[in-house]
Each structure stands twice: as C-alpha cells, then as structure tokens.
Structure 1
Amino acid sequence: MGTPQLALGENGAAAARAAMVARLETSGEVKPGPVREALLALPRQVLMPQAYVRRSAPDETPPRWDLLDWSRPADREELLERLHSGESIAIQHEGEPILGRDAGARRGGAMTAMSSTLGMTADLLQLLDLRPGQRVLDIGTGAGVTAAVACFVCGDAGVVTLDIDPYVTAAAGERLAALGYRPAVATGDGTTGRPDAGPYDRIFVSFAVPRVPEALVEQLAPGGH
C-alpha cells in the first residue's frame, strides 16, 4: 500500500516517515522505544537519495530498471513512496559505484546491494536491546540504516559498520556523515568481523551464513548479543 499524496520536500518526507512507522506499529513490527524514535528521526532520503524501481514484468528478460534521484523534482513523489513502503530498496546495480552515478534507465543484470525490509530490520534491532554507550558491530552496511539507528541510540563513537563492497561503504560513510554520524566505516569480510575495535556489546549480521562465524563469537563482549 503506497503513501498518500504528499507535499514534496522535507516536510513530505517527514510525513511519509511518520506514516510508515505508524503502519509498522499497527502491524506489531515496531514497538515504543529507542528504535521507533530512531526510525521517526531518520531521513531515509539522505541515506538513499537514489533508489531503483523495476519497470519490467517479473518474467520479462532482460529486466528493466529506473534509478530514481531525490535531486530531480520529477522523481521525488515516486521515490518518497518507494523509500517509505517498508519493502526492500535496491541501491546498487551490477556492483557499480554508488556515488556520482547518473540517474535513469538500466537494462539486464541484477541488483547487488539492498536495504532490507524495514519491518524485519526493526524487529531484529529491537531484539538487540540497543542502549546508550554500547559498542556495536553492524555487518552488511547496505544503505546504512542499521548503522544510523545504532548511532542514534548508542552514540556513534562505539559503532563500527562493515561491508565487503568498497562502493557500498564509501556511499554509506558519506551519507551517515551528512546526518552528523561518524561511525567507523570499514570494508572487509564480514565473517571475520573487526577484532581491532572489539569486543562488542551487540553484533548485527544482515547476510546469510551457514553457521555463526566463530570470529564473531570471539568478538562478543560478556553478556553481549
């Protein structure tokens, strides 16, 4: 279900954000607490000023995509709806550089970086029981949403976000800084973690692994999650 027609710009983005969080509260995926407050405060168009929408049918080959751009007024209404739909958001096509790219059409290939569905992300963040001053390792940076929530709740001094794709970490670092957050942003293998900055009170992993990597267990502080 899309967002209502909204005035475009920052006021429209704030209204779309509030409506999205209200829907997640109604569905039971978001509860009162710091994660809810972070999601209400987080301008998603800053972390994802560009996002892909699929223009082709599911069985059509090659697939066709459009990269929407917040800086283009003609794209803003559709981008606002997409960013606040609660669904996963495609942010990278075929491993491309994310910063400095042109908006417009793409054909073929596949999406190689996503921002996960927000209900699932919020549920996992709430299970982590984030608190001020905790040290957090966020593995699988994506668009930087989980890192931004961790910075909002815990303070950015103890947050490390790690992704294997240097284009993903470059974009996330710049956009988190635009929000006033300066966590440690690192590029590397998520299964090995980031031992030099540990141990961590909380570790968030947003990619599939056959089993919990032993390195991450070793980097978890006593009593951590």
Structure 2
Amino acid sequence: MTDQAQLLKGLVETLAANGSVRSEAWRKVAETVPRHEFLRGGFFRRVEGAVPTAWEPVLEEDDGWLEGCYEDQSLVTQIAGTIVPSDIRGRIAREPTSSSTLPSLVLRMLEDLQIEPGVRVLEIGTGTGYSTALLCRRLGERNVTSIEYDADVAARARSALRRLGAHPLLVTGDGLRGHPDGAPYDRVVATCGVRTVPVAWVEQTRPGGLILTTIGGWLGASELARLTVHDDGTASGPLLGGQVGFMLARPHLPPPLGLLPDLTAGQEREARAGAGVLDDWTTRFVVQSAAPGAQRVSIDRDGCQEDVLIDVESGSWAALRDEHGRHIVRQGGSGVLWDAVEHELARWRSAGAPALRDFTVRVTPEGHSYHW
C-alpha cells in the first residue's frame, strides 16, 4: 500500500470513529476520493504564535505536504481574494478567502443531507472540488451541479475533478442566485456561510426537498440548518448544532466600518447584560439574531476597554464597558441597538435558554426567523 493510500485509509477510519461517517455507503465513497488531488497547488498553514495571524505556504514538493492533506483540518488555499500558496515566499498576514473544509465536516454534512440514489444536488461553493467529487461518486456526475463564485478557484477545481475522471456541471457565478436552468433540485447544500437563506434556493428546490446550509452573521456565530421546502414556497427546519462555521459567501461579507461614530454622544444607562455575553457562542448567536447588521470592535478609550457594536447601514451603535462591577451601555445613532439585544436575550432566557439544536428556522420570501 502506498503512503497516500495508507493516509487515506487512516483518515476514513478516523472519520468513522468520530461519527462523521455514519453509513457504509459514504464510507465506501470516502475511501475512493484522494484529498491530495485537490490540494496540488499547496495550502497555507497558520504560523504558530504570530500576531496578527500569519500564514505560510506548504507546497507539493515540501516535507509534510502529503501528510497535511490527510489531516482532518480545514486547509486555507487562497488569501485576500487572489493569493495562492505558490505566490508567497515567507509569510503573509491577510484574511483567508477560500479553503478545503475539514473532511469530518464535509462527510457529516453529506450524511445530514439524507441522500438517496437518483437525488439531484445543487452545491453552492465548489471550492477545491473535494466535496463535489464525493457527490459525483455517490450519485453520478449527471446528478451534480456545483457553483463557484471565484473563476480561478473554479478552474483549479475543474482540473482536479478531471484528473479523477469526474465531469459534473460546474458553473462560475453567484451561488446565492442558484442555477435555475437545472431546477428543481432534490437537495441544495452550501459550503459557504450565509446571513439569510436566499429565496432562489427555496424556489429551485422541489417541495419536500432539503436545503443544508450554515446560517450566521457578522458577530461570528453560525449554525448548520437543514430546511425542508414546502408547497407554499417557504422552508423550515432545525439547527443541527455543533458550532459549524464557514467563510461567508462574498456577497454576504460585512461592509467596511469606516470612521467610528462619536462614542461620546448618545444616551448612557446601566445595562442588564454586558459585553461578556458576546464571548459565548450560543448567546452570541441570539445577540446576532437581534442585531443582524451589527459588527463588533474593541477599543481602548481613556484607559478603559470598550466593546462597540456598530450597524453601518442603520447608523446605530452601542458601546459597552464594565465599571465598578456594573455593566454600562451608551447608545446612539438611529436606534437603540442594545435595547433590542437585551429584549431578545430576556425572551430566550425566559424559555430556559434552550440550546441551538432546539432552534428552528423558518424562511419566507420576506426573510427568516428563529423559533424555539
């Protein structure tokens, strides 16, 4: 057995042991798709201890490249929208914009998609093409359509899929619009995060079909949702839990903060909840649902640490600090941002602070809402 074959075998055994691969059908598929074929251009590894976060390339000819391909880790493949590993010598401190998702999450999602033979799937976010290849092996390439926003990323995925003899329909474009020419689909699966579920996905999924996507926001908390499409053009379903996060779809990225508002203005009061609630994933998800347009920034003002939530579009903001054991909030702009947050937190806590897996999502043409 070659080193690559042993590494693939070990990865699949790990995925089966940790519960990511739950069925024999997906285990057999996973055993036939070599992940390194989708990482021949290399990947970026995080530089330990670097502040700010920095990345260094690991190329195919480097020691540790092949072993890295078979780690159950997400591997960054593009930085700052255009930079790939072969472009860099040394380090780069910019934001990742594309990656190969950790295999355990890829297989978990494919299991959660409840696929059966003959099902037609629309994949949003081709990425490296690894998950696309798994779908092709399970369903046949004629039943798989995959959309990638970035033309260069799409080209690399197409080459990798062809090396494995897979030729699904690959579309370069805005995945948030779906691909109506191939509709209706039985399943839609997104390997990018969204703030709201696009109506186009619901419209292009047959009644009874499923949409699997992570829903999140600009405060950094997201969860995997599995939605069933209904005859009336709506969709609903549970959050599946597990603190699943993907890079947001590029059209859903936050706007630049620009100049900070005048934080000395506004009205000040004692707050029932302080900025500490933003440190917990579940609570932050609830906060995010109450303030979906808010971004968080921490600043030092006159020797005092303040956490500021800013909604660029509405102009509302809330600055939070702790003072002698008390939570203080100062709010300004067009609304009372923290009032809305405290109201939603109180409603959630009065219900017993249910876990996110007890949440359901309902999607209509007007937007989406959470229930528990």
Secondary structure of the equivalent of 1:224? strand
Q: Per-residue deviation at 1:134?
A: 2.1
Which of 7, 10, 18 lines up with 1:27 in the alignment? 18
AA aligned to 1:222 is: P
Q: State the shift of 1:27 in Å.
A: 1.2
Partner of 2:43: 52
Residue-by-residue CA offset, 1:75-133 (whole Å, 9 max, x unaligned): 2x51122111111011112222769x567544232321011122121111011122333
Asked if structure 1 preserves the Cα contact closer than 8 Å seen for 2:44 and 2:77, the reply is no
- Are 1:65 and 2:56 counterparts? yes
Distance 1:64 1:222, change over 3 A: closer
Match of 2:169 in 1: 184
> Which structure has the higher relative contact order (CA within 8 Å, separation 6+)?
1
1:129-208 matched pairs, under 5 angstroms: 129-208=114-193
Which of 35, 40, 64 is matched with 1:78 structurally? 64
- The verdict on how the C-alpha distance between 1:62 and 1:210 changes in structure 2, with shifts beyond 3 A counting, is closer
Which letter maps to 1:13? Q
Matched, 1:14 2:11: no
Contact 2:45 2:75 in 1 (8 A): no
Q: 2:83 and 2:52 mapped to 1: Cα distance?
A: 24
Counterparts of 1:32 and 1:191, CA distance in 2: 30
User: CA shift at 1:173, angstroms?
Assistant: 0.9
More helix by share: 1
Q: Which amino acid aligns with 2:75?
A: I
Long gaps (5+) in structure 2: 211-372
1:107/1:199 CA distance change after superposition, 3 Å: same
Change (3 A) 1:56 1:97: closer
Matched AA of 1:96: T
Task: Check whether the contact 2:46–2:53 (CA below 8 A) recurs between aligned residues.
Answer: no
Give the counterpart letter for 2:30 in structure 1. Answer: L
Deviation at 1:156, TM superposition (A): 0.3
1:98 and 1:59, CA in 2 relative to 1: closer, same or farther beyond 3 A? closer
SS at match of 2:98: strand
Per-residue CA deviation, residues 180-219 of structure 1 (Å, 9 max, x unaligned), is: 0001111111211111111111111111112221110111
Q: Specify every segment of 5 or more residues in structure 1 that has no aligned partner in the other structure, as ranges.
A: 1-9
Quote the offset at 1:166 in angstroms: 0.6
In the alignment, the residues of structure 1 paired with residue 195 and residue 171 of structure 2 have an alpha-carbon distance, to the nearest angstrom, of 23
Find the aligned partners of 1:156 and 1:98 in 2 and give their Cα distance. Answer: 28
> In structure 1, what is the equivalent of residue 77 of structure 2?
91
Check whether the contact 1:68–1:103 (CA below 8 A) recurs between aligned residues: no
State the alpha-carbon separation in 2 of the partners of residues 192 and 98 from structure 1.
27
Deviation, structure 1 residue 153: 0.5
8 Å contact kept, 1:25–1:31: yes
Normalised to the residue count of structure 2, the TM-score between the two structures is: 0.53
Q: 1:210 aligns with which of 178, 187, 195?
A: 195
Aligned counterparts, 1:104-143, within 5 A:
104-143=89-128
Return the alpha-carbon distance in structure 1 between the equivalents of residues 53 and 88 of structure 2.
19
Alignment partners' CA distance in 2, 1:63 and 1:174: 29
Match of 1:22, SS state, is helix
Length-normalised TM-score, structure 1:
0.85
Contact kept? 2:36, 2:70, Cα under 8 Å: no
Give the distance between the partners of 2:66 and 2:97, measured in 1 at CA. 22
- SS of equivalent residue, structure 2 residue 205: coil
| Alignment-mate amino acid for residue 24 of structure 1 | L
For the residues of structure 1 that align with 2:17 and 2:32, how far apart are their CA atoms?
19
Give the root-mean-square deviation of aligned CA atoms: 2.1
CA contact (8 A) 1:164 1:187 kept: yes
